[in-house]
Amino acid sequence: MKFKIIVTLACITFCTASVHCQKLKNEVDSLSYAFGIMFGQNIQSGGFQAINADIFAQSIQKVLRNEALDMIESET
């Protein structure tokens, strides 16, 4: 858990200092980007080369909004 926090903070620090991240306008944007980096790296290290990013984002939004999910936990 500590490692993930350190990686997240490092990503936020790097992204905030990076010229390429000027579109990130606030801490929520930076944190969201850092989470994307972490998730992407974890997915890639699991041997996956591609996912459906739209469905991935929709599932996160449903969880954050406490909406009904399209899969039940036993299917995950």
pLDDT at 9: 61
Higher pLDDT residue, 22 or 34? 34
Q: pLDDT band at residue 19, thresholds of 50, 70 and 90?
A: very low
Yes or no: say if 8 and 31 are a contact pair by the CB < 8 Å rule: yes
- Kindly report the number of other CB atoms within 10 A of residue 4's CB atom: 11
**Matching residue, tokens 């399209």:** 70
Q: What is the mean pLDDT of residues 8-16?
A: 61
